[in-house]
Amino acid sequence: MRFLSNAHTHTTYCDGKSTIRETIAAAKALCFVSLGFSSHGDQGFDPAYSMADGRQERYVSELRAFQAEELTANEAPRLWVGVEEDALTPARQKKENRRVLDYVIGSTHYLVKDHHGQPIAVDGDPEALKAYVRTEIDGDGLEMARRYYAIQVASLLETPPAIIGHFDLVRKYALSHSLFDPSGFAYRRIALDALERAFPCGAVLEVNTGAMARGTMDSPYPTLELLGAWKEMGGRATLTSDCHDASKLDFGFEAALRLLAKAGYHSVERLGRDHSLWETERLTLLKA
């Protein structure tokens, strides 16, 4: 089977390489039935990685125009207008996002907004992250992971999004920069505990192939263990490419579908073709 949708798509309004028009063309070429846009929402402290200075309003209005055009012509893919919202986004902006958008991806990137004038992200400059852990957390990488998940779980429960973005992004530089052992029991227990605490937010968990597309990871976020645990809790999952380049819109989807099947899923959620945000697709043709 092929998965003909993607809910996690960046554009030139943030750090994506492709325009909205180029991405829609790529989705049409792949025969996608639906496509959601999710540039980094305005979070008020890292303008290089967000739609600061009124860009978010322009992004929404351009997308609404495309959406109206496609709906009038009754053409696929069905477009959905969202943002990827960081956990540290101010509450007022989070409220506004839920008022004006079709959906929100709730993602956690930052540990702090301002450390000597710079935000510290777990997927940003790894040397800055390492220095932060050394000077502010006594070099304790597991404590960093604990803090990361505490920020994430609090945000998911306080302002539930439709989708949980790259749940275990904190693994990104864990091995390469000797922060913690991501396969060790101590870390895995922290991550599993956080996933369980986040469950009541009711969001769909994404299987995110973005780091595979960029060549920095060879498997998606989150791990097979976390995906299996989410399934056991009764959670739903979707598949996304965290697309920053329209030529990689469905990168790694086949491998990720196999991972879902291996984790015990019999179905996967995709953005709807009609009025409902989600529709469920069965994974019957896959072998784990």
Instruction: Burial-class residue 104 by CB neighbours within 10 Å (0-12, 13-18, 19+).
Output: buried
Residue 206 as a binder of Zn ion (CB under 5 A): the answer is no
Residue 5 as a binder of Zn ion (CB under 5 A): the answer is no
Tell me the site size for Zn ion, rule CB under 5 A.
3
Q: Which is nearer to Zn ion, 73 or 162 (CB)?
A: 162
Q: Which is nearer to Zn ion, 7 or 283 (CB)?
A: 7
- Binding residues among 139-178 for Zn ion as defined by CB under 5 A: none
Q: Which is nearer to Zn ion, 182 or 185 (CB)?
A: 182
Number of Cα atoms under 13 Å in the Cβ half of residue 255: 16
Residue 50 as a binder of Zn ion (CB under 5 A): the answer is no
Q: Which is nearer to Zn ion, 41 or 285 (CB)?
A: 41
- Binding residues among 55-94 for Zn ion as defined by CB under 5 A: 84
Rounded CA gap, 86 and 50, in Å?
Answer: 9
> By three-state DSSP, how is residue 250 classified?
coil
Residue count of the chain: 288
Q: Which two tokens stand for residue 126?
A: 């790894």
> By three-state DSSP, how is residue 176 classified?
coil
Identify the residue whose tokens are 């055009």: 69
Residue 108 as a binder of Zn ion (CB under 5 A): the answer is no
Residue 46 as a binder of Zn ion (CB under 5 A): the answer is no
The alpha carbon of residue 23 and the mean position of all alpha carbons in its chain are separated, in whole angstroms, by 17
Q: Which is nearer to Zn ion, 130 or 166 (CB)?
A: 166
Q: Shortest CA distance to 14 belongs to which of 46, 123, 22?
A: 46
Residue 107 as a binder of Zn ion (CB under 5 A): the answer is yes
What is the x/- site pattern for Zn ion, positions 221-260, by CB under 5 A? ---------------------x------------------
Binding residues for Zn ion, rule: CB under 5 A, are 84, 107, 242
